[in-house]
Structure 1
Amino acid sequence: MVDGEWAEQRRRAIQAHTAAAEAKRAAEVAEARELMRWFVDAAAARGIAAEELTAMPFGGGGGRLRTGLRGWYLRADRSVAVGTDAEFYSLTAPGGLWARLTGVTVTPSRPRLIVGEGGRDGESMPLAELLRRRLGDDGVGWDG
């Protein structure tokens, strides 16, 4: 095989692999969004009130930052939440005095089916399990 042919074959293989990985990621995001829409409806039906969501400053530090968002925290450390808009939020933001005074803008993250995947041991958990725990049951009613 000529070097140019090999390089072209390799380039096509990389493109195919990249396209397959992106398709898989898009399907994962779609499934996660469906789960979160189900959760918001289930929480409302069960009378589980949304609350004001706050963010932690990057690097920790004291205090929480107002976000202007409402929703449900999914972890005890209040690091991730589902908003009333059925979006997934990672609740960290730049801190500082101005942020404490005015609040911060937190944009939705692309949701994953495994929250915390790639993080430290013991920090990853399936999104469906976090949502079921937040509802306080085994997720009866979820058919996904």
Structure 2
Amino acid sequence: MGEGDGRDWREQRQRAVRAHAAADERRRAAERAEAADLVAGFVAEAIRRGLRPTPLVAGSYSGGGRYRTGLTGWYVDRAATRAVDVEGRFYLLTVPGGLRARLFGATPRPHPAPLIVGEGGRDGDSVPLRELLSRRLDAGDDWP
């Protein structure tokens, strides 16, 4: 095997790695778009059904406190750790917490909604986003 053969192999391998990464990014982008559509549909349906949005609060990472957020929307899980605001943004409602958050409130950042909520978590409790949002709609205003 000559020096040129090794270089050709490395170049082919690098092209394959780049192609794989590009395909993976296209798949993730398609999943993000699908999840965003589900969340937007949820907001439209919640408004159509007359579900009242509520002020959302966030919990600390340590579980030691609850903090105002300035957000209004709907919790989508019973633990009130995931929510959708009235603008159709998905939130994980956990924040660092602390004195500043207690005094002035917390500012959670929106996250891209996952198609499978809880996927990869330690407890193995994952649920498709479509099902989670459907459960929330079916519960109406009888939700924590």
| The structure with more helix, counted as a fraction of residues | 2
Quick check: 2:118–2:124 contact (8 Å CA) kept in 1? no
Once the two structures are superposed, residues 39-63 of structure 1 have per-residue CA deviations (whole angstroms, 9 ceiling, x without a partner) of 10100111111111111111211x2
| Residues in 2 aligned to 1:125 and 1:9: alpha-carbon distance in whole angstroms | 39
Report 1:33-52 matches (<5 A).
33-52=36-55
Whether 1:71 and 2:73 are equivalent positions in the alignment is: yes
Residue of structure 2 equivalent to 1:7: 10
Distance 1:5 1:53 in 2: 56
Tell me the residue number matched to 1:29.
Answer: 32
Q: TM-score, normalised by structure 1?
A: 0.90
TM-score (norm 2): 0.90
Q: Paired residue for 1:20?
A: 23
Whole-angstrom CA distance in 2 between matches of 1:114 and 1:46: 25
Q: Deviations over 1:63-104 (max 9, x none)?
A: 211111111111111111111111110111111111111001
Partner of 1:136: helix, strand, or coil? Answer: helix
What RMSD in Å do the two structures reach over aligned CA positions?
1.2
Q: Which runs of 4+ in 1 moved over 2 A?
A: 120-123
In structure 2, C-alpha distance between the alignment counterparts of 1:124 and 1:36, rounded to whole Å: 17
Structure-2 separation of matches of 1:65 and 1:52: 11
Identity %: 54
1:87 lines up with 2:82 in the alignment: no
Question: What CA distance in whole angstroms lies between the structure 1 residues aligned with 2:79 and 2:133?
Answer: 15
CA distance in 2, matches of 1:55, 1:123: 21
